[in-house]
Structure 1
Amino acid sequence: MTVQALILAGGRGSRLGDVRKGELRIGGRTLLERVTERLGDLPAIVSTGPGPTGIGADNTIADGTLSFGGPMAGIAAALRHLHGAAEPGDLLLTMAVDTPFLPRDFAARMIAALDGGAQAAYAAWGQQIYPTNAIYRLSGLYPLLSGTMPDSPKRLLQSLGAGPVDWTSRAAADPFVNLNTLADLIALGRRARAGDE
């Protein structure tokens, strides 16, 4: 079994003035660098959204044309990219690029959540759920390539009977808080300066 990691970095950052979130800096490092380093040695592909991108890495894939965009367009692009290269028994671990405090044990705990045979699981902080930070069995996703693709990760997870993996007992502050506005950027910068890594 191989774990395929997918960083969802295709958002337009419209509430931040149409900037690529992955290129924003928190604590002196870009969001993409921060999320990538949380994966340790796990190789990752980066979904960059449609059109040209400033991300120059070899491991990037552009979103395809779907009737919807957002994270599901990135997941669909990854499935097309992996189909034929990854085994159905492999796992797809997804995370949002704008999650600068992603837990260092994220991959290990999410992989363990599927030990009992579940098809998928998602991250949670108490009642707050994070459907873009999730894990799936590719065997449950590949059929979507020839059928109907749900229009959101939340609906996809519901269709697979996914359950939460809760971090409230493991972290003093929400490790999945994400960046959508200038106020978020300022608050997360303060959090990084305060030593929350």
Structure 2
Amino acid sequence: MSLPHAVIIAGGQGQRLGGIRKADLRVGGMRQLERIIAALGDVTRPILVASGPRGRRLALPADCLAVDDLESPCAGPLAGLVAAVAQLAESGITRGLLVSVAVDTVFVPPDFVARMIDGLGDAATAYAAWGEDFYPPNAVWQLGALQQLPAALSGSEAPVSLKSLQRALGARRVDWAGLHPTNPFANINTLADLLALQRLAGR
């Protein structure tokens, strides 16, 4: 089986963090973008990094490729996914698996990719959950199910979020609560979140 492709969703402006890009935050002494790359492990290179609207580029390692949001009403994590799908299609890649992960998922497990693919089965997509909490950006997708997405964004039937897209595709839920005593998908939205996750990383 060929390796999955991967996209790191990193287009957020970090407004509640004073405008600091989450990818550039250091947690446990490591830049957050590099933490995610390490956790993804053995995926197809280059890893795509959805960096938001054109001109908002990040400093990336050599094995990564920045992709800009398309010109459309779409924004947020959905825009990052669509940008990755369009980039892969431009390279002639329309089949296989695409793993997506939010750049602020500090403790994404090292077996994230393998377990999400196992949980996908024959579904079009599957998303990560931990008990009652769920994380649409941390997901695996069948690329074949997403090929009409870039062209559909301007229509009235276009999804408005990853959650609505996953609902339409009949997404499976992959619950990690039985595997981890603490939430491995806790993310950074505020300074308080950052400080709490820094303390956990220090342990």
Category of TM-score, reference length = shorter chain: over 0.9
Q: What's the Cα RMSD here? A: 1.4
* Aligned-residue offset at 1:92: 1.0
The one-letter amino acid of 1:138's match is L
Of residues 104, 121, 128 in structure 1, which corresponds to 2:126?
121
Mapping 1:22-101, distance limit 5 Å: 22-42=23-43, 43=45, 44-50=47-53, 51-57=55-61, 58-101=64-107
Which region of structure 1 is more displaced relative to structure 2, 87-96 or 29-38? 87-96
Which region of structure 1 is more displaced relative to structure 2, 41-50 or 170-179? 41-50
Which region of structure 1 is more displaced relative to structure 2, 67-76 or 19-28? 67-76
> For the Cα contact (< 8 Å) 1:120–1:137, is it kept in 2?
yes
Which region of structure 1 is more displaced relative to structure 2, 45-54 or 127-136? 45-54
Within 2, Cα distance between the matches of 1:46 and 1:30? 14
The one-letter amino acid of 1:27's match is G
> For the Cα contact (< 8 Å) 1:88–1:137, is it kept in 2?
no
Within 1, Cα distance between the matches of 2:179 and 2:76? 29
- Per the alignment, in what secondary structure is the counterpart of residue 133 of structure 1? strand
| Deviation sequence 1:114-143 (CA, Å, 0-9, x none) | 23x111100000010000101110111002
> For the Cα contact (< 8 Å) 2:51–2:58, is it kept in 1?
no
Listed as ranges, the gaps of 5+ residues in structure 1 are none
Listed as ranges, the gaps of 5+ residues in structure 2 are none
TM-score under structure 2 normalisation?
A: 0.90
> For the Cα contact (< 8 Å) 2:27–2:106, is it kept in 1?
yes
> 1:100/1:151 Cα in 2 relative to 1: closer, same or farther (>3 Å)?
same
Which region of structure 1 is more displaced relative to structure 2, 63-72 or 16-25? 63-72
Give yes or no for the alignment of 1:173 onto 2:179.
Answer: no
TM-score under structure 1 normalisation?
A: 0.93
* Aligned-residue offset at 1:63: 1.5
The one-letter amino acid of 1:109's match is R
* Aligned-residue offset at 1:168: 0.6
Within 2, Cα distance between the matches of 1:109 and 1:92? 14
* Aligned-residue offset at 1:52: 2.8
> For the Cα contact (< 8 Å) 1:10–1:49, is it kept in 2?
yes
